[in-house]
Structure 1
Amino acid sequence: MYSRTETARANGLNEYDWLKQIFKALPNVQSLADIEALLPWHYKDVVG
């Protein structure tokens, strides 16, 4: 868990907000592309 939050921080994200959003989005994931969109280095592109 620590490495995930540090990776989010390294990508300029608020770790808490990022985790909250991915846990909210995970039940609706239907493909590998959906999961990859939630990764910290892609997440900014998705949410702006």
Structure 2
Amino acid sequence: MAAKLWAPVPWMPEVTITLEVALGKRLEAVVVAVVPALNAGLSLMQEGRA
């Protein structure tokens, strides 16, 4: 699971969250954070079923 997060594409939301917080846009940062969290959760559930 951790190997899937160790690449440039998964890092983009993290960079976006950091920039949003730095710019004071906390709501946008939360929205951007929820999407990868849901994706990771769904991926984990699917791997568990496989």
TM-score (norm 2): 0.34
Query: Which one scores higher on RCO, CA 8 angstroms, separation ≥ 6?
Result: 1
TM-score (norm 1): 0.35
| Higher gyration radius (CA) | 2
